[in-house]
Structure 1
Amino acid sequence: MFKRSEKVAEAVHELISELLVKGLKDPRIGFVTITGVKVTDDMHLATVYFTVIGSDAEKKATEQGLNSARGFIRKEMGKSLRMRYVPDIVFKYDVSVDYGYRIESILKEISSSEQSDDKQDS
């Protein structure tokens, strides 16, 4: 059984993803992927997690672009989600993808050093 906030989070995720493809024309917004949405149980706040391919400056510019489009996104949410109250939106960069890349690179280093040690022992 799903909580209502989880269903709303899924609907918000789909809507924002669709808006990123179709509607937002801000040049600061780069190649964005919405990785998750969490809505509080009282449905007053939606935290939208995103990732961007690019440098740190591009990540910050994208976050600024998304935050400046919050009003437009809330208006579109109000049109499509039939709710008494449309949740406020907070955009946060999802650092879990960066952690995943870092862990993967460390594991590759360990693997390559073990292989070179095995070749030296032979």
Structure 2
Amino acid sequence: MGHRVNRVGEQMKKELGDIISRKIKDPRVGFVTVTDVQVTGDLQQAKVYISVLGDEQQREDSLKGLAKAKGFIRTEIGQRIRLRKTPELIFEFDETMAYGNRINSLIHELHREEQLGEEEQEKKDTD
């Protein structure tokens, strides 16, 4: 059963990306990328993880636009993927990119502080 759930999730990810980029005409929905789809074992719900290019306002607007279009998107999915019942869609931000960027900037910050500390130490040693 796990294999089927994964297959449905992958298929939904592909179709959702296409539907959102080509069929959604809501001006609030910006440049949205579907990063992952997690389908429950009973195929009743699908968490759709998205990333949105832009600031916090654009992210929020895109999420609102997608929530408004949920019925339409679900109907489209139902026509493209043959399932007895199309899963309910739940849109969420994929925070892994932001988290990764935050970790990256912290590492760079530490590295910069370390270099400054070494340079100061060298100065003291030459004085």
Report the TM range for the smaller structure's normalisation: over 0.9
Shift of 1:35: 1.1
Shift of 1:63: 0.5
Give distance in 1, aligned partners of 2:33 and 2:26: 15
SS of structure 1 residue aligned to 2:92: strand
User: What fraction of aligned residue pairs are identical, expressed as a percent?
Assistant: 36
Establish whether residue 38 from structure 1 lines up as the match of residue 38 from structure 2: yes
**1:13-34, CA deviations, whole angstroms, 9 ceiling, x for partnerless residues?**
0001011221111111111111
Bigger-Rg structure (1/2):
2
Counterpart position of 2:114: 114
TM-score for the superposition, normalised by structure 1: 0.94
**1:51-110, CA deviations, whole angstroms, 9 ceiling, x for partnerless residues?**
112221211111001111111111111111111111110101111211111111111100
Establish whether residue 26 from structure 1 lines up as the match of residue 6 from structure 2: no
Give distance in 1, aligned partners of 2:5 and 2:109: 42
Are the counterparts in 1 of residues 34 and 48 from structure 2 also a CA contact under 8 Å? yes
Tell me how large the CA RMSD over aligned residues is.
1.3
SS of structure 2 residue aligned to 1:86: coil
SS of structure 2 residue aligned to 1:91: strand
- Which 5+ residue runs of structure 1 have no aligned equivalent? none
Establish whether residue 60 from structure 1 lines up as the match of residue 64 from structure 2: no
Are the counterparts in 1 of residues 21 and 32 from structure 2 also a CA contact under 8 Å? no
Q: Name the count of aligned residue pairs.
A: 122
- The letter of the residue matching 2:71 is G
Are the counterparts in 1 of residues 45 and 87 from structure 2 also a CA contact under 8 Å? yes
Give distance in 1, aligned partners of 2:77 and 2:56: 29
Counterpart position of 1:93: 93
TM-score for the superposition, normalised by structure 2: 0.90
**1:1-54, CA deviations, whole angstroms, 9 ceiling, x for partnerless residues?**
952111100010000101122111111111111111000010010110011122
Counterpart position of 1:79: 79
